[in-house]
């Protein structure tokens, strides 16, 4: 099959079209109709095909068609943060694109662009004190909207429940293990921690669930990338820490885990273990690439969990956890919680829905509304009381 490469505002996209025959080249008229606003189309066939040139006119514009011996692809720029984990996720995305689209395996077809975010620069304060989750995405969103990158790779648990106008998030890669891990050189589990032990964590979700088990524990702010937190632990800054198992696995550091916590012991963060890839709304080239990478079961789980978070007006000042999973019977099962900062009050909810976007979104909203109602009108007051 031949390939059509069409250019609009200097953006190049490759897609399959009608077969080039020895008697000439043909283009599906429906494809031409979709290119009304585009100024030129170049059809390149394999080198064995004779070169022919033709012209198709539509909507008072000439669409030029020609055959050539090779396919040229404009560089697709992948935006990411610069932490080791963020880069590992960007490299994974790059490798999946290469495997799915052979023309992107050519030299220069893909480029990773590192973007430093405010959240990467300010490490000495809790996220809640410096603006919340958007701190890890704003600069990347700006680069996407400005055209400096074509797609943006995110850890989904860092992405706010709103997206900047002009951007969409159509793709989630297959989800990693959602569980948290306990790491300590002194103790084998949370239950072994003595009263008054110091646990390093910047997560209010982990803090609340730890204190619900043992209110004597002292939880201290513990930010930075995975490697820096492991180093601080080794240097004796705290007795133990908790990290996402997904991050350790992606960094080949799974052996650092002392024990893996069940979801009953520590309910995960909303969208934990999920990678999301964003692009510009209406930008068909990147949208087509991401459609091929999307893992629909993961995407629907993330939709459900984020709707739960949105229903609770969740922020980095609110200890919220939630996990949605497809059951063996093909249904989506969700359970979530919201807690006071000290873990003294925890409200839980759960539900089941069919596996389609409308149903799972409604499931997240419904459980969120139920939890909010059970917590009472002063919900935000008590969940933020000591923030």
Q: Which of the residues are catalytic?
A: 158
What are the angstrom distances between the C-alpha of 147 and each of 80, 143, 277?
14, 6, 15
DSSP, collapsed to helix, strand or coil, labels residue 226 as helix
Cα–Cα distance for residue pair 226/100, rounded to 1 Å: 30
Cα–Cα distance for residue pair 236/387, rounded to 1 Å: 26
The candidate with the shortest Cα–Cα distance to 3, out of 57, 97, 66, 76, is: 66
Specify whether the CB–CB gap between 353 and 326 falls below 8 A. no
Token pair belonging to 303: 């939709």
By residue count, the chain amounts to 387
Cα–Cα distance for residue pair 254/245, rounded to 1 Å: 7
Which H or E run contains 221? none
Q: Are strands 240-244 and 180-183 parallel, antiparallel or unpaired?
A: antiparallel
């Amino acid at each position: 099959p031949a390939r059509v490469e069409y250019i609009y505002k200097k953006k190049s996209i490759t897609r399959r079209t009608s077969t080039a025959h020895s008697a000439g080249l043909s283009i599906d008229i429906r494809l031409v109709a979709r290119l009304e606003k585009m100024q030129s189309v170049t059809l390149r066939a394999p080198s064995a095909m004779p070169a022919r040139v033709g012209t198709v006119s539509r909507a008072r514009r000439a669409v030029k068609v020609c055959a050539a011996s090779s396919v040229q692809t404009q560089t697709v720029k992948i935006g990411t943060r610069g932490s080791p984990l963020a880069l590992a996720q960007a490299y994974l995305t790059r490798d999946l694109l290469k495997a799915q689209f052979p023309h992107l395996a050519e030299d220069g077809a893909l480029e990773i662009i590192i973007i430093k975010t405010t959240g990467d620069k300010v490490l000495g304060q809790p996220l809640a004190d410096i603006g919340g989750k958007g701190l890890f995405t704003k600069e990347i969103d700006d680069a996407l909207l400005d055209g400096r990158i074509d797609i943006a790779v995110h850890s989904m648990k860092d992405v706010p429940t709103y997206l900047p106008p002009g951007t969409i998030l159509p793709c989630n890669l297959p989800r990693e293990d959602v569980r948290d891990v306990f790491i300590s050189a002194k103790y084998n589990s949370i239950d072994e921690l003595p009263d008054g032990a110091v646990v390093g964590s910047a997560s209010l979700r982990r803090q609340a669930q730890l204190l619900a088990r043992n209110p004597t524990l002292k939880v201290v702010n513990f930010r930075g990338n995975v490697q820096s937190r492991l180093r601080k632990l080794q240097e004796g800054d705290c007795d133990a820490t908790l990290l996402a198992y997904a991050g350790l696995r992606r960094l080949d550091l799974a052996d650092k885990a002392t024990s893996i916590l069940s979801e009953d012991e520590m309910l995960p963060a909303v969208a934990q273990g999920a990678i999301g890839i964003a692009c510009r709304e209406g930008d068909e080239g990147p949208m087509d690439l991401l459609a091929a990478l999307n893992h629909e079961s993961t995407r629907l789980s993330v939709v459900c969990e984020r709707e739960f978070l949105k229903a609770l007006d969740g922020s980095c000042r609110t200890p919220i956890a939630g996990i949605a999973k497809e059951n063996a019977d093909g249904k989506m099962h969700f359970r979530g919680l919201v807690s006071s900062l000290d873990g003294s009050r925890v409200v839980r909810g759960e539900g089941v829905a069919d596996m389609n976007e409308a149903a799972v979104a409604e499931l997240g909203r419904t459980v969120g509304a139920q939890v909010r109602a059970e917590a009472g009108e002063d919900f935000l007051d008590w969940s933020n009381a000591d923030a």
